[in-house]
Structure 1
Amino acid sequence: MKTLSQLLSMKEQKEKISMITAYDYPSAKQAEAASIDTILVGDSLGMTVLGYDSTVEVTLEDMIHHGKAVRRGAPNTFVVVDMPFGTVGVSESQDLSLAKQLYQQSHANAIKVEGAHIAPFISRCSNIGIPVVAHLGLTPQSVGIMGYKMQAATLEAAEKLIQDCKNMEQAGAVMIVLEAVPSDLAQKISATLSIPVIGIGAGNGTDGQVLVYHDVLNYGVERQAKFVKQYGDFSNGIAALSQYHEEVKQGTFPSAEHTYKKKIWDEVTPD
């Protein structure tokens, strides 16, 4: 299994780290077969596979359910699972209890949390052996406040983000995801920290990249973000299903090649 020490070594040797989201057994199996370094079971599953309007509706039970499926599909890949909205910031004891539940039941290698305010939470998790990935910059769970736009666009905001990232590392974060920040800032942060920095919409100067599985394969996606590149196209699914529908209606499916044949009735002896 890919380990945290291997990922740290990749950063030291300046080998880029690949990360992709996966939400179920078949997508995780594909990711592992493609030798992807890390899988993120992101709360983006709320929109991509559960049909929610945002990540805010995703529950801890959702993340555990999908995390377990991903682990079964990718037993040898480093898997990170998101702590969903509302599970961090209630109380110290409850936060830690929910983190333990997610980490234990999903069989993840690490959990991920959003926001610059979670340094104390990271420290508490680290103290009991739960590896935590921090997510800064654009944090989807807070889009109701910050909106979907580039973050840290001023010198003051950039300096704050640098300090926030340092605070995450000092608190014990094992990795940082930076989303939708200027590329030169992301590169500077990556060079400053000793832990891997994974970018999404943050340029190629980070230690690695993450994209959403459905965005990469154009699978049920209505609009693409600026930083997304498609590497495949699953968008012809409607046409394929329509053809299946018509063939069933017309009686042309199943054809002989899709049919089991045995003349059972000819073997029956009449009374």
Structure 2
Amino acid sequence: MSKADLFLEKKRRGEKIVVVTAYDAPTARIEAEAGVDIILVGDSVGVNILGYAHEREVTLADMAHHIAAVRRGAPEIYIVGDLPYATYDTPEMALASSRALRDAGADCVKFEGAQPGLVAALAAEGYDVCGHLGLESQHQDVKRRQGKTAAAAAKLYDDALAADAAGQKFLVLELVPQELAGRITRAIRSATIGIGAGPETDGQVLVVNDLAGVTTRDFKHNRRYGQLGAALSGAISAYAADVRAGAFPGPEHSFHMVDDERAAFETWLRGRAGFTPGRA
């Protein structure tokens, strides 16, 4: 049984799958220790870590770099990596890009849109594939809810079935109505991972910066479980104040040379040509 099949078994047993993003080794280590099931190294790294204005700016090299960091931090966890914009326009491109992410440490590759042909091509080469329907950040400039009309919902439903038949292992459903997400989840073999798609999916994913309060943006689909941004700001402000006041470092943060070594050093300094006492 493959790693992905273990998650499909969880779906069959009705056990929820916990997914969260990570972009670096320390965060990945913390998430693994906290017991998450899957780490997603998403193209959200662009706006959350790299300072890009849009996910479309993320490169394949960016993704490989951050996937490798996450793998070092969480050697055993299942990692899904995003194929960035314009790196999977053809099956040949998708295979080459997927190879780069797998070499960096990804167990599964994810891409946006209804492309069952790409799913089939990647699956035929032994890749675990995660689809992504609903809001597609790489391709939609305005981030709004999807599948609100019957016609739009029907298309997403059919797209999900087609990708499932092509061999995907997972399907992210983003910002789609709960009713539609539930219908898709019950209709396909793949494990569905929701974000803003209600509680009926097989699992949930959130961006770690959003759930931990690193960012201050408010989203309807997010619950802020911490205030790390405020805590970090407070810690750095306190540090800056202590440095400026001369309160840090204190005696407990410093160390001294032993007496004979210090004396030898001072003797050496006095013997240097041009040495002036009191000058560093």
TM-score range, shorter chain: over 0.9
The residue aligned with 1:55 is 55
Alignment CA distance shift 1:120-1:259 (3 Å):
same
Unaligned stretches of 5+ in structure 2?
Answer: 269-280
Alignment CA distance shift 1:241-1:172 (3 Å):
same
The residue aligned with 1:204 is 199
* Post-superposition offset of 1:245: 1.4
CA distance in 1, matches of 2:123, 2:136: 22
> What TM-score, normalized by structure 2, do the two folds share?
0.90
Pair member with larger Rg: 2
CA distance in 1, matches of 2:8, 2:55: 29
CA distance in 1, matches of 2:242, 2:64: 39
1:72 maps to 2:79: no
1:127 maps to 2:124: yes
The residue aligned with 2:225 is 231
3-state secondary structure, aligned to 1:142: coil
* Post-superposition offset of 1:242: 1.8
Q: Which runs of 4+ in 1 moved over 6 A?
A: none
* Post-superposition offset of 1:124: 0.7
The residue aligned with 1:152 is 147
CA distance in 1, matches of 2:104, 2:162: 27
CA distance in 1, matches of 2:79, 2:87: 19
* Post-superposition offset of 1:102: 2.0
Q: Deviations over 1:70-90 (max 9, x none)?
A: 01111111100000011111x
Code of the residue aligned with 1:235 in structure 2: it is G
CA distance in 1, matches of 2:28, 2:73: 5
* Post-superposition offset of 1:256: 1.3
3-state secondary structure, aligned to 2:118: helix
Q: Deviations over 1:240-268 (max 9, x none)?
A: 21221121122110011211234436863
The residue aligned with 1:110 is 108
* Post-superposition offset of 1:119: 1.3
Retained in 1: the 8 A contact 2:4–2:128?
no
> What TM-score, normalized by structure 1, do the two folds share?
0.93
Code of the residue aligned with 2:156 in structure 1: it is L
Unaligned stretches of 5+ in structure 1?
Answer: none
RMSD (Å) for aligned C-alpha atoms: 1.6
Q: Deviations over 1:129-184 (max 9, x none)?
A: 1111000000111122xx21110001111111110000111111110000000001
Retained in 1: the 8 A contact 2:117–2:166?
yes
Alignment of 1:1-271 (within 5 A): 3-89=3-89, 91-103=90-102, 105-116=103-114, 118-144=115-141, 147-219=142-214, 221-236=215-230, 237-264=232-259, 268=263
3-state secondary structure, aligned to 2:111: strand
CA distance in 2, matches of 1:35, 1:94: 34
Code of the residue aligned with 2:139 in structure 1: it is S
Alignment CA distance shift 1:136-1:262 (3 Å):
same
Alignment CA distance shift 1:266-1:76 (3 Å):
closer
Retained in 1: the 8 A contact 2:210–2:216?
no
CA distance in 2, matches of 1:150, 1:21: 21
Retained in 1: the 8 A contact 2:108–2:127?
yes
Code of the residue aligned with 2:100 in structure 1: it is Q
The number of residue pairs the alignment matches comes to 264
Alignment CA distance shift 1:267-1:239 (3 Å):
closer
- Identity, % of aligned positions: 38
